[in-house]
Amino acid sequence: MHVFIEGVGLLGPGLNGWDASRPILKGDAAYVDAPTIITASDLLPAAERRRTGIPVKLALAAGQAAFAHAARDPAATATVFTSSAGDGENLIQICATLASPEREISPTRFHNSVHNAAAGYWSIAVRSQEPSTSLCCYDASFGAGLLDAAAQIVVECEAVGLIAYDQTYPEPLHAVRPIKANFGVALVLTRERTSRAVAALEINLLPGVKRPTPMDDHGLEALRTGVPAARALPLLTAIACAATDSILLEHTGSNHLRVDVAPC
């Protein structure tokens, strides 16, 4: 499957936006681990903004940045949201409430507990009525989202926004499912090359388990392996370097993804 990337959004520890992160990914600046800077989206009405948790804020910030980079209307573009974690903080609070004598869950907590909550807030924020898919595929969530987005583009011949995000789990979930940091990444993908395209991708789902492409920097490699959404980092590095490269990504079962990247 052949697709093109028009826009990139990135938000993670020490990676505060695509423009600021490109020198780090290219190796021109040192990577320095720092807390992820997350702000509430100014696209949402105030009442909705107060209800959002960290995963929604991550998804909206990364998606908004990617569409601004692509200069494409998000309201007219289908989306794929993918996350291995969802809203872990909200889940802990719901479980604690259910274990208490009261056992009354607020409507806000309930509607934030569903896996497509970020997609719902996105449709409100950008006023979109386009199709949206929400996925969860454990450590292969980014690869599964990329494959799904590419398949939609090939079949429908329309642009798709891919938004991947993960939040750290609080204890006691963190002890059994440690996620290193809050991380969000978004790509605006198209079927045809446009004047705004920054990279071309050829995506293949192949049999066999292959070692995913690592990062050269130890700090970025720890981030890649520590956050499922950060499995995108080798692909983002190839895009930042305007390199021709082949990236291997995790997928489900005994399969893997090979993404051949070329600059535009």
State the pTM of this model.
Answer: 0.95
User: What does the pLDDT read at residue 86?
Assistant: 87
Tell me the β-bridge partners of 123. Answer: none
Q: Kindly indicate the confidence band of residue 45, based on its pLDDT and cuts at 50, 70 and 90.
A: confident
Q: Do 156 and 78 touch, CB atoms closer than 8 A?
A: yes
Question: Looking at the domain that runs over 2-263, which CATH code has it been given?
Answer: 3.40.47.10
Q: Give the torsion sign (CA, 15, 21, 23, 27).
A: positive
Q: Give the DSSP per-residue string, the chain.
A: -EEEEEEEEEEETTEESHHHHHHHHHTSS------------TTS-HHHHHH--HHHHHHHHHHHHHHHHHT--GGGSEEEEE-SS--HHHHHHHHHHHTSSS----HHHHHHHSTTHHHHHHHHHHT--S-EEEE--GGGHHHHHHHHHHHHHHHH---EEEEEEE-PPPTTHHHHS---S-EEEEEEEESS--TT--EEEEEEEEES--PPPPPSSHHHHHHHHH-GGGGGHHHHHHHHTT--EEEEEE-STTEEEEEEEEE-
> Domain boundaries in the chain?
2-263
In the predicted model, is pLDDT for residue 40 greater than 90? no
Q: Do 6 and 72 touch, CB atoms closer than 8 A?
A: yes
Both structure tokens of 39:
């702000």
User: What does the pLDDT read at residue 102?
Assistant: 86
Q: Give the H/E segment covering residue 3.
A: strand 2-12
Give tens-digit pLDDT for 132-190: 999 999 999 999 999 999 999 999 989 999 999 999 999 998 999 999 999 999 999 99
User: What does the pLDDT read at residue 152?
Assistant: 96
Give tens-digit pLDDT for 102-135: 888 888 888 889 999 999 999 999 999 999 999 9
In the predicted model, is pLDDT for residue 85 greater than 90? no
